[in-house]
Structure 1
Amino acid sequence: MRFDVITLFPELFGPFLAHGINRRAFESGQVDVHLWNPRDFAEGNYRRVDDRPFGGGPGMVMMAEPLWRCLQAIRAERAEAEGQRAPVVLFSPVGERLDHAGVEAWAAGPGGAVLVCGRYEGIDQRFIDACVDRQLSLGDFVLSGGEIPAMALLDAVARLQPGVLGDEGSHQQDSFNPALDGLLDSPHHTRPEVWQGPHGPLGVPPVLLGGHHGQIERYRREQRLALTARQRPDLIARARAEGRLGPDDERFLRGLG
């Protein structure tokens, strides 16, 4: 799938695309990333892409015309038919919250998207109204630009591609995954069996050392339930509404008090 990223800072993506496990997806073209700088489509000697907001106020606003010209060049290179255009996505605080279900949908889709990374005080609303199909947010906070959210989406999509992770089943154990009924993942432990921590020795839960797979799985299930009930009770409510919790789960949750 192809993602075209409109950004004033394409150099930020270089290290991200070249390092880490997910680079396999980028190098193989499973997730094909193209970077576009709207400054290359601006007019004048200074290639200006922003100006002061009408009506006054602080900051600068990205201009619609360079973004539009950049988008036209992307569409020409993608050679898409009118009814088959990839969606244009803007990262914005007003957007819908990106979640695991959304990432899975992006990862399964063939067409990718055009990702618009805003900067400064924002983007001319006329470009948003005329060209943007969807707005996404990472949460209720404001970043300096859309590059970090774009990398977050690309990272999340890339790790779901076949062969990217060392173990094909790794992402099935991720928090929010339907394979875990939408719960948070359980805590993990590794060697040594006893760690001399800052407040004294800390051991691994004995059940994880016993080799009884049924007991281990039940322990992990209970840990997921306990962690989710404590940190994200909304996910417990959703799993309950969707019928994902069994009698043993409900009994355990009642025992948490």
Structure 2
Amino acid sequence: MKLSRAEYKEIVKCTEHLRPTRQCMTILRQRFPNHSQSTLLSIFSLEYQKRTKRTMSRHQAPDSIESYYQRYLSEAKARPSVPVLLELANEVDLSPALMARVIVDRFLQDQEGGVSSKQVLNNMLREPSLIPDQALANHVYQCTINDCCYGPLVDCIKHAIGQEAEVLLRDKLKERNLSFLDENQLRTKGYDKTPDIILEVPIAVEGHIVHWIESKASFGDDHSHRTYLNEQFWSYWNRFGPGLVIYWHGFIGELDSQRDRGILLKDCFPSDIVTLCHGTSPATTDSLTG
């Protein structure tokens, strides 16, 4: 859904003191019942990632790591049935999955007597049963399943959601009998940086010509949209002409300000598509047909 900037800021303000656990979504849904869970989760995730980038250096300082590790060892021994690692992450406002990474990395340094292998660390975070300490394995698992912003589980979910959105887009195009090339087909043709879809015959949406479509399974806020414009959308425009971006989880309505320059924003697949006749110039609006 499209949100006004005022609505977006109200949600952001509510997220400022929330922790990235599953429970935060219950709070957001109760506070904003008219907004979808996917929109609220996407906004919270983007905001928490910004917060983490501002504070991560503090958490990664050697004295902080040692303090967290010694506290974990002490608390795990004193309260073996309590999710102490998850509690510690929430207390210091660090993503549970990132806290698990810090603690397992420190644990491996003790086990191996030096710097741990990144591959071994990543494997243990993806599959906690590989951790030789059963108690730590359980705490890492608790952190992983309770984190809604970071970690291997979140990465898998985000990948699946992104793939699902791209499949939905292709299905919608096929339903309208629109001829297109997807990203994989374009790469086989030698394109190195492409949108998700290139339309072989352009369409018009709300009076704007569209040659390409980009699918984003996220919310379009100021920071992410500006980044996408600079790193992707304008380069697509330069190479392929005007296009359409679908933010499936919504966007700030005021960001849809580049239509006249050739980039249109939507929060769903457009229902008012007008097809262009074959063999006519994409710029000739007189060739539009129903």
Tell me the TM-score normalized by structure 1. Answer: 0.26
Higher helix share: 2
